[in-house]
């Protein structure tokens, strides 16, 4: 995504004044009589999100008023200014006064300028912003560019984003930052001992694969990212009903967000050794599809009984996590669009995360809040672990009962990671169902900005 920031000196930039219900009377007084009359004629009341463009005496745009919440409001949306690119005409603007958080406001401005334009000319707004004082515009550009990579990958429909295209996208990121790249494709997955990735992906004419990217100095601590890359999830033989299948092009959202995070890390040259693993498959229906009650070995050695072919994400992540764990990373992070239960519990905007490392949990929660990239901790609740028991195998991929679905998924994955590994798991949604400021409808970058902050604090 091209930068929206105007870094050359532009004295003519149109000022945007942020107003709240309580600051509005004073600001109104300070306006010229014409502008005040214009605001009154428009019944402008500084409601959060409301925008008024004030003409000057020459009829040109002189100033913009934009409502935000008062400082003591029950909820302040720090991304509110992210709706401005969709409201303002083409031009160059600057903040005349400080919104609650100028950095997040400018970031929201950049994130709110995104439109998905692969199949028709994007109505991407041409609204540029002079970076507020003290804000690192180059950093915001890097974050927004990576976030929009994740959005583009998720928004691209499955016919143009199969396992092979996802591999090509990952390779492009690798080449851009000089990372090493490899991939294990098709039956080679069996030879290299990835039976679960193969089982899930084998029914598709679009060959399953395990994508790998490596970057950074071998002397630095190793951080490994694993992302669920289900390029379409029909549910397999336990087929999804049409309403549930509709959005399943987004089922590679974990992979997209892991790539976004990897790009942020590489672009900022953090002092870590980065490994990215993306099991990429299509969960399809065909004569050779894996079936309910099939039993498969796994890379870790545990045998897995298939309770439901629609619980496929945890299967491919299980093999990838086992591989990731073999070289003992200092930090192992996985994310994926794993359960509908996560959305039922916390809604689409607040993905749950899981870890047994208390210091890591506190850092994740703090970074998520600071970056307005919300995440909420849920427990690896050991008493539910027995729900994964199978009568014929080490464990079952889909506990019956349907209680605590996001937790039991996390517990399933935990079996494939050594207890000594510092491990973080995120069950993301990767989608904005209806547009919010700074968050256009469609594919969304979730958790990557929060985790980038965490990694830059630890390895900056």
Query: What is the binding site for ligand BES (CB under 6 A)?
Result: 233, 251, 308, 310-313, 337-341, 343, 398, 405, 429
Alpha-carbon distance of 29 to 358, in angstroms, equals 52
Residues ≥6 apart with Cβ < 8 Å to 333: 223, 224, 225, 226, 258, 423, 424, 425, 426, 451
Considering only CA atoms, give the Rg of the chain.
24
47 among known catalytic residues: no
305 binds, among Zn ion, Mn ion, ligand BES, none (CB under 5 to 8 A by kind): none
Q: Which of residues 249-268 bind Zn ion (CB under 5 A)?
A: 251
108 binds, among ligand BES, Zn ion, Mn ion, none (CB under 5 to 8 A by kind): none
Q: Closer to Zn ion by CB, 125 or 313: give it.
A: 313
Alpha-carbon distance of 38 to 16, in angstroms, equals 16
Least gap, CB of 307 to ligand BES (angstroms): 7
Answer for the pair 412, 314: CB distance below 8 angstroms, yes or no: yes
The 289-318 contact track toward Zn ion, x by CB under 5 A, reads: ------------------------x-----
Residue 19 in tokens: 């107003």
Residue 312 in tokens: 């496929």
Cα dihedral 193→195→200→205 (10° resolution): 60
405 binds, among Mn ion, Zn ion, ligand BES, none (CB under 5 to 8 A by kind): ligand BES
Least gap, CB of 304 to ligand BES (angstroms): 13
240 among known catalytic residues: yes
Question: For Zn ion, how many residues bind (rule: CB under 5 A)?
Answer: 4
Least gap, CB of 233 to ligand BES (angstroms): 5
Q: Closer to Mn ion by CB, 174 or 342: give it.
A: 342
Answer for the pair 17, 97: CB distance below 8 angstroms, yes or no: yes
**Residue 235 near Zn ion by CB under 5 A:** no
Q: Closer to ligand BES by CB, 85 or 442: give it.
A: 442
Please identify the residue of the shown chain whose CB is closest to the bound ligand BES.
Answer: 340
Alpha-carbon distance of 220 to 23, in angstroms, equals 50
Least gap, CB of 233 to Zn ion (angstroms): 4
Least gap, CB of 409 to ligand BES (angstroms): 7
Q: Closer to ligand BES by CB, 193 or 308: give it.
A: 308
Answer for the pair 223, 330: CB distance below 8 angstroms, yes or no: yes
152 binds, among Mn ion, Zn ion, ligand BES, none (CB under 5 to 8 A by kind): none
Least gap, CB of 65 to Mn ion (angstroms): 47
Residue 24 in tokens: 């509005």
Q: Considering 240, 271, 366, 458, which one is annotated as catalytic?
A: 240
CA distances from 260 to 145, 147, 150, 156, 266 (A): 8, 6, 6, 15, 10
Positions that interact with Mn ion (CB under 5 A): 233, 310, 312
DSSP classification of residue 249: G
Q: Closer to ligand BES by CB, 224 or 396: give it.
A: 396
Q: Closer to ligand BES by CB, 75 or 391: give it.
A: 391
Q: Considering 103, 142, 228, 314, which one is annotated as catalytic?
A: 314
- 453: Cα separation from own chain's centroid: 14
Q: Which residue has the tokens 């008062």?
A: 70
DSSP 3-state percent helix, strand, coil across the chain (nearest 5): 35, 20, 45
Binding site for Zn ion (CB under 5 A): 230, 233, 251, 313
Catalytic residue set: 240, 314
């Amino acid at each position: 995504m091209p930068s929206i920031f105007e870094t050359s000196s532009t004295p003519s930039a149109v000022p945007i004044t942020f107003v709240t219900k309580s600051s509005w009377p004073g600001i109104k007084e300070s306006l010229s009589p014409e502008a005040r009359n214009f605001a009154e004629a428009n019944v402008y009341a500084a409601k959060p999100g409301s925008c008024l463009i004030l003409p000057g005496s020459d009829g040109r745009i002189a100033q913009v008023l934009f409502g935000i919440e008062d400082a003591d409001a029950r909820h302040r949306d720090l991304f509110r200014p992210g709706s401005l690119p969709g409201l303002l005409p083409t031009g160059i603007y600057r903040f005349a006064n400080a919104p609650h958080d100028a950095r997040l406001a400018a970031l929201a401005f950049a994130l709110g300028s995104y439109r998905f334009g692969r199949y028709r000319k994007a109505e991407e707004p041409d609204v540029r912003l002079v970076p507020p004082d003290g804000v690192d515009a180059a950093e915001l550009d890097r974050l927004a560019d990576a976030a929009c990579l994740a959005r583009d990958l998720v928004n691209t429909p499955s016919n143009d984003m199969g396992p092979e295209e996802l591999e090509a996208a990952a390779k492009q990121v690798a080449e851009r930052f000089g990372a090493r790249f490899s991939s294990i494709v098709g039956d080679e997955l069996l030879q290299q001992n990835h039976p679960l990735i193969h089982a899930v992906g084998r029914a598709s004419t679009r060959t399953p694969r395990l994508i790998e990217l490596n970057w950074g100095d071998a002397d630095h601590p190793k951080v490994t990212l694993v992302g669920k890359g289900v390029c379409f999830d029909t549910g397999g033989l336990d087929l999804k009903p049409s309403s549930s299948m509709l959005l399943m092009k987004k089922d590679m959202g974990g992979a997209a967000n892991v790539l976004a995070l990897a790009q942020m890390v590489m672009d900022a040259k953090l002092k870590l050794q980065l490994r990215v693993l993306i099991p990429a498959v299509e969960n399809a229906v065909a004569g050779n599809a894996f079936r309910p009650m099939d039993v498969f070995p796994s890379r870790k050695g545990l045998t897995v009984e298939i309770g439901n072919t629609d619980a496929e994400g945890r299967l491919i992540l299980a093999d990838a996590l086992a591989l990731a764990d073999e070289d003992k990373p200092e930090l192992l992070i996985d994310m994926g669009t794993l359960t509908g239960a996560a959305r039922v519990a916390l809604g689409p905007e607040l993905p749950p995360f899981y870890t047994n490392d208390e210091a890591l949990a506190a850092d994740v929660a703090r970074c998520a809040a600071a970056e307005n990239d919300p995440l909420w901790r849920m427990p690896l609740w050991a008493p539910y672990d027995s729900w994964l028991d199978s009568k014929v195998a080490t464990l079952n991929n889909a506990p019956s009962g349907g209680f605590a679905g996001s937790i039991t998924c996390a517990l399933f994955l935990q079996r494939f990671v050594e207890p000594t590994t510092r491990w973080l798991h995120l069950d993301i949604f990767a989608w904005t169902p209806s547009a919010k400021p700074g968050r256009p409808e469609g594919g969304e970058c979730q958790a990557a900005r929060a985790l980038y902050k965490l990694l830059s604090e630890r390895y900056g």
